[in-house]
């Protein structure tokens, strides 16, 4: 994704807040222990014994080594008992960073930008466009079964597990209320949980981005294009529900689908429209890309409207 200085500043600010929150929590619990006289005394004994152990090993004094090891163990047990009494676990003393890869710095050990940096860039950009972050359901067997989609659980669970190796486009069609959006949202959430950068937008929200792209200065256009073409997975929900803006909707939808196909960057699309309706609405070129069997699969979900059954 393309970043400007303002966006980088916002991302770094958010990452700094995440680090501060994680480290403040750990410091809070560490402070509880520090204020406990018995704990600090036991900790001092532990450190003294640890020093004596190293010294004994260096001098080859087996007797002193055994005593130091025994003192260390006793001090450690005392510290453990006090932590338990105070309700402070070992995990509470370690900062629980939002991103375990970069510890909320945005930079990996190899010096590259972390995936969390890219995800934040997308989240901030979408928010600025008025596209709210969506609560996405879990990809669990029970949740899928509740929506009468259990026959698809194994297929899409495998899709998520092999996403880094086999990146297929998926077009999910069917009548209203058959669970298409729920299934796509489950997949998106599973991949997000596995640290992939996923952009989940409705077709109407996608139109909003297209209009922004259409009216943006030439030097800003690449930014919006990278938002839709640079993410690991683009999910377009309810294709066909959006208004068709002249010289915008069809042209840029074709551009996005073509760019992602070229870069082998997959997308998932849900739609209530039949093949004939898709052809009438979007034309041959877009339908051809939606039906590209080399890079994707088409799934039709049949059944009753689940909303009415509930």
Could you read off the pLDDT tens digit of each residue along the chain, which spans 310 residues? 667 788 889 999 999 999 999 999 999 999 999 999 999 999 999 999 999 999 999 999 999 999 999 999 999 999 999 999 999 999 999 999 999 999 999 999 999 989 899 889 888 888 888 888 888 888 877 666 666 678 888 888 899 999 988 889 999 999 888 888 989 999 999 999 888 999 999 999 999 999 999 998 888 888 888 889 989 999 999 999 999 999 999 999 999 999 999 999 999 999 999 999 999 999 999 999 999 988 999 999 886 555 555 5
Contacts of 256 (CB under 8 A, 6+ apart): 228, 229, 234
Q: Compute φ and ψ for 270, nearest 5 degrees.
A: -110, 145
The separation between CA 128 and the C-alpha centre of its own chain, rounded to angstroms, equals: 19
271: Cα within 13 Å, side-chain hemisphere: 22
Per-residue burial over 71-108, b if 16 or more Cβ lie within 10 Å, else e, is: bbeebbebbeebbeeeebeeebbebebbbeebbbbbeb
- What pLDDT sits at residue 178? 83
CA distance 130 to 110: 35
Q: Coil, helix or strand for 164?
A: coil
Asked if 78 and 42 count as a contact pair (C-beta separation under 8 A), the reply is yes
- What pLDDT sits at residue 146? 63
CA distance 122 to 60: 59
For the chain, the first-to-last Cα distance in angstroms comes to: 41
Largest CA distance in the chain: 89
The separation between CA 50 and the C-alpha centre of its own chain, rounded to angstroms, equals: 42
- What pLDDT sits at residue 153? 83
Contacts of 105 (CB under 8 A, 6+ apart): 15, 19, 114
């Amino acid at each position: 994704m393309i970043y400007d200085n303002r966006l980088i500043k916002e991302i770094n600010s958010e990452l700094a807040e995440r680090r501060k929150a994680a480290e403040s929590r750990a410091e809070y619990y560490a402070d509880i222990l520090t204020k406990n006289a018995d704990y600090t005394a036991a900790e001092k004994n532990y450190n003294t014994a640890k020093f004596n152990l190293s010294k004994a090993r260096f001098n080859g004094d087996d007797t002193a080594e055994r005593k130091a090891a025994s003192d260390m163990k006793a001090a450690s047990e005392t510290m453990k008992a006090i932590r338990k009494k105070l309700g402070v676990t070992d995990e509470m003393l370690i900062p629980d960073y939002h991103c375990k890869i970069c510890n909320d710095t945005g930079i990996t050990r190899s010096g590259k930008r972390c995936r969390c940096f890219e995800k934040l860039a997308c989240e901030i950009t979408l928010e600025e466009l008025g596209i709210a972050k969506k609560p996405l359901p879990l990809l669990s067997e029970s949740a899928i079964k509740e929506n009468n989609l259990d026959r698809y659980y194994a297929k899409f669970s495998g899709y998520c597990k092999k996403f880094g190796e086999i990146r297929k486009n998926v077009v999910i069609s069917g009548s209203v209320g058959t669970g298409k959006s729920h299934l796509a949202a489950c997949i998106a959430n599973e991949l997000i949980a596995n640290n992939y950068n996923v952009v989940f937008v409705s077709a109407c929200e996608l139109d909003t981005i297209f209009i922004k792209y259409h009216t943006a200065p030439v030097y800003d256009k690449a930014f919006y294009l990278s938002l839709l073409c640079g993410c690991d997975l683009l999910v377009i929900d309810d294709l066909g529900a959006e208004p068709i803006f002249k010289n915008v909707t069809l042209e840029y939808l074709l551009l996005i689908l073509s760019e992602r196909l070229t870069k082998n960057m997959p997308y998932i699309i849900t739609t209530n429209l039949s093949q004939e309706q898709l052809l009438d609405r979007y034309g041959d070129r877009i339908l051809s890309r939606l039906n590209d069997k080399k890079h994707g699969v088409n799934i039709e979900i049949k059944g009753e409207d689940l909303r009415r059954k509930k």
